[in-house]
Amino acid sequence: MQLNVKTSTDRKTLEKVAEERLKDFEVLRTQERYTAAIYLGVYAVECLLKARICKTLQLEKLPVTYRSHDLMALLLHSGVHQNIRSNPEVFTSLKKLSDLWNPAAEDRSVRYIHDPKRYGERTAREVSDWLTHQSKGVATWLQKQL
């Protein structure tokens, strides 16, 4: 394992990418491109967790070893997995997003779904809450941890 090798992606870039993907989530949701919207929305959470790992490790660039899509594994290494417990609503939102991103069978992940209508308006609206709701949104909460 290449523990001391860094990616070329720095913390500020990860934060900015997350911000942009959240905007894309809203645009695509409005255009009823729900699958792509959800894909980008949850990807923003992955970026925020990776940015938080950089902060915890006091590194500008993300180590290669954290090139993972597993949200809960990233949480475990982010330094905030204990803090999130004091916000049960946020923690539950993350678990719900994790089912979309890291289901029990990889093929069912939103990352590999090509059908634009696989998810409906209702799911996209719920995902919006899980991401950016003032009190239970994961992205909202993670942005405050950076």
- Residues at the contact surface with another protein, assessed by CB under 8 A: 68-70, 72-73, 76, 85, 88, 91-92, 95-96, 98-100, 102-108, 119-120, 122-123, 125-127
Give me the DSSP letters along 101-127: HS-SSGGGSGGG---TTSS-HHHHHHH
> Cα dihedral sign for 53, 70, 64, 138?
negative
CB of 125 to another protein, least distance (A): 8
Contact criterion met (CB below 8 Å) for 90 and 137: yes
The 8-class DSSP code of residue 60 comes to S
CB of 86 to another protein, least distance (A): 10
CB of 12 to another protein, least distance (A): 26
Distance CA 95, CA 89 (A): 10
Distance CA 137, CA 85 (A): 14
Residue 58 C-beta-side C-alpha neighbours within 13 Å:
0
Judged by CB, which is closer to another protein: 1, or 105? 105
Judged by CB, which is closer to another protein: 14, or 100? 100
Judged by CB, which is closer to another protein: 10, or 126? 126
Judged by CB, which is closer to another protein: 10, or 87? 87
CB of 105 to another protein, least distance (A): 4
